[in-house]
Structure 1
Amino acid sequence: MDNLTRLAVSATLHCLTGCAIGEVLGMVIGTAFGLSNAVTIVLAIVLAFFFGYSLTIRPVLRSGVPVKAAIGVALAADTVSIAVMELVDNGMLLVIPGAMAAGLADGLFWVSLAASLLVAAVVTVPVNRWMISRGRGHAVVHQYHQGHEGHESHHGVETGGTA
């Protein structure tokens, strides 16, 4: 696996963490309260974006970047990745027979959710790879994760500018 692909996998796993927290929480809340499929999916998506952005903003703020700029970095770094992940994840949940009707105690609920997140991550890796290769997506945040060491990632992939 080349350095760019490793960086894309790392970015995707970062994004998957925030998406999974929000997605699982949204699906659990929606299912527990008997919300409609549409409301449950909207809640899961909103929470996925919230947690995805939050996981990016925290280290950027710790590096001394002002809040407004940190929000901009998170939006640039994560929006496309989270959107692709959520589209695939929720699309799968809608097409897996019985997934959206399954209860919290039903294995189908958890297996469907895990499978949909796994497929979403696999689909998102090439998207992140393409964006990082052009200095976009997670490429914009790596300088903050490394304490302002410049634009080269810890994987040795040049992330400043477009390729």
Structure 2
Amino acid sequence: MNHTGGRTGLTRLAVSATLHCLTGCAIGEVLGMVIGTALGWSNLATIALAVALAFVFGYALTIRPVLESGLPLRAAIGVALAADTVSIAVMEIVDNGVMLIVPGAMEAGLASWLFWGSLAFALAVAFVVTVPVNRWLISRGKGHAVVHQYHGGGHEGHHH
């Protein structure tokens, strides 16, 4: 086995998995921050909503292609939980932590560059921190490796 190619492939897969996670997290995070900020909610309530929506959208983006591979909904949900829970949790802890430590970010309001700049920065930091976590999980057959077999029409496990 070519270890260099394997490492590069593994890193590429981890980056891809993290981008996938980032997409779902960003959709949920932005919606939660926008809704909570617009309604004048506390930081805790706003972050709770953002985290909940990040998990919902993160799982939804995984469940859809797994369902398309022919897996029943209950099994697809199990795959999504196994594939994305650690990745989403790490991403959410990091990006919300960054939002809380940037002075004034949570109070800045939706019309402020400070709010949007901080949120973009927080998601970028979360991405950088989450890639090695996903790489480690995938290298052990966990995390996004669980869902990878269902991509591309679910070629694994059929007609063997």
TM-score, length basis structure 1: 0.91
* Corresponding residue to 2:26 among 17, 20, 31: 20
Aligned-pair CA distance for 1:147:
1.7
Q: Which residue of 1 aligns with 2:130?
A: 124
Query: 1: distance between equivalents of 2:45 and 2:151?
Result: 35
Q: Which residue of 2 aligns with 1:11?
A: 17
Q: Which residue of 1 aligns with 2:116?
A: 110
Structure with the largest fraction of helix: 2
Letter in 2 for 1:146: G
What are structure 1's unaligned runs of at least 5 residues? 152-163
Instruction: Report if aligned partners of 2:58, 2:84 keep a CA contact under 8 Å in 1.
Output: yes
Q: Which residue of 2 aligns with 1:156?
A: none
Q: Which residue of 2 aligns with 1:81?
A: 87
2:55 is equivalent to residue 37 of structure 1 = no
Aligned-pair CA distance for 1:143:
1.1
What are structure 2's unaligned runs of at least 5 residues? 1-6
CA RMSD of aligned residues (A): 1.0
Q: Which residue of 2 aligns with 1:137?
A: 143
Specify the SS of the correspondent of 2:40: coil
Letter in 1 for 2:114: L
Paired residues, number:
151
Letter in 1 for 2:115: F
